[in-house]
Amino acid sequence: MPEKAAFFRLEGALSPVPTMASAAWLAGHNPRLRSRVARLGDLALTAPLLLGGPLKSPGAGTRVTWMGLRDLGEDRLVEMGREFAERFLIPRLRPAGVRLVREAKKDHTVILLSSNIAAVVEPIAAHLGVDEVVCNRMEMRHGRATGRLAEPVIHGHVGSEWARRFAEERGIDLKASSAYAGLDEDTLLLSAAGFPCAVHPRRHLRHVAADLHWPIVEG
């Protein structure tokens, strides 16, 4: 019998902190790059691209975000990711989202979905006690980050096609499953689940949820 899952998008539904914040913090603490000023300058140059510039592919901006981690050692990356999660993310998790995770754990396979990297997401997953994590991972070579993400890349526009493919591979009944998200780009992800829920939604998603009579949870 297919299992039922609960998909939780970390960004928005559970955390108010954007992925870009962790990328900037990690890059700013990377001792291997040529200088702090150059690192932050490189990162700043990507901002116009991420805000609707010439990068047309939804995943392209996500890839560019992590270039500042180039040459960072794997052990140091894990250590810094844990520090960022424990200092800036876990203390700010949305109480309503955490309560929903706890409820879902009773009879669902809970899947945490994020465009952040594993070094940051896995400490949060351990804190929440979720069953599975779907997130980005840095490509490593000789024990150091290349500055690129390993395929497949998880970005902001995770849609219904991804959800259906993931469900087929894992033996999940999407019609019996739930999805919790708060970003405007999560509309298609929510629509793929039998029981969608908008958590602390942004304006566009709030309107969509109201029109489609999806539950809206605040806090």
Where do the domains of the chain lie? Answer: 5-217
More confident residue, 198 or 53: 198
Q: Identify the pLDDT of residue 163.
A: 87
Q: Identify the pLDDT of residue 152.
A: 87
User: Tell me: the pLDDT tens digits for 158-193?
Assistant: 667 888 899 999 999 999 999 999 999 999 999 999
Structure token pair of residue 85: 């999660």
Q: How confident is the model at residue 57 (pLDDT cuts 50, 70, 90)?
A: very low
Of 87-91, 143-147, 154-158, give the lowest mean pLDDT range: 154-158
> For the chain, what percent of residues have pLDDT higher than 70?
83
Rg of the chain taking only CA atoms, in angstroms: 17
* Calpha distance 51→166 (Å, rounded): 29
- Sequence-distant (≥ 6) Cβ neighbours of residue 197 within 8 angstroms: 100, 178, 179, 180, 190, 214, 215, 216, 217
Q: Identify the pLDDT of residue 105.
A: 97
Q: Is residue 176 a contact partner of residue 6, using CB atoms and an 8 Å limit?
A: no
Q: Identify the pLDDT of residue 156.
A: 67
Q: Identify the pLDDT of residue 33.
A: 60
Give Dmax over CA atoms of the chain in angstroms.
55
Q: Kindly state the DSSP code that residue 150 receives in the 8-state scheme.
A: P
Q: Identify the pLDDT of residue 62.
A: 56
pTM (2 decimals)?
0.86
Reference 92, options 164, 201, 144, 17; nearest CA is: 17
Angle, helices 19-28/74-84, rounded to nearest 10 degrees: 130
**Rounded to 5 degrees, what angle do the CA atoms 21, 22, 25 make?**
90
- Section 113-125 average pLDDT: 97
Of 11-25, 41-55, 129-143, 188-202, give the lowest mean pLDDT range: 41-55
Q: How confident is the model at residue 52 (pLDDT cuts 50, 70, 90)?
A: very low
Residue 202 in this model has a pLDDT that exceeds 50: yes
- Class level of CATH domain 5-217: alpha beta
Is residue 202 classed as helix, strand or coil in its secondary structure? coil
Backbone phi, then psi, for 188, in 5-degree steps? Answer: -70, -35
Backbone phi, then psi, for 129, in 5-degree steps? Answer: 75, 35
Whether the ω angle into residue 152 lies within 30 degrees of 0, i.e. cis, is: yes
Reference 193, options 157, 168, 164; nearest CA is: 164
Average pLDDT, the chain: 87
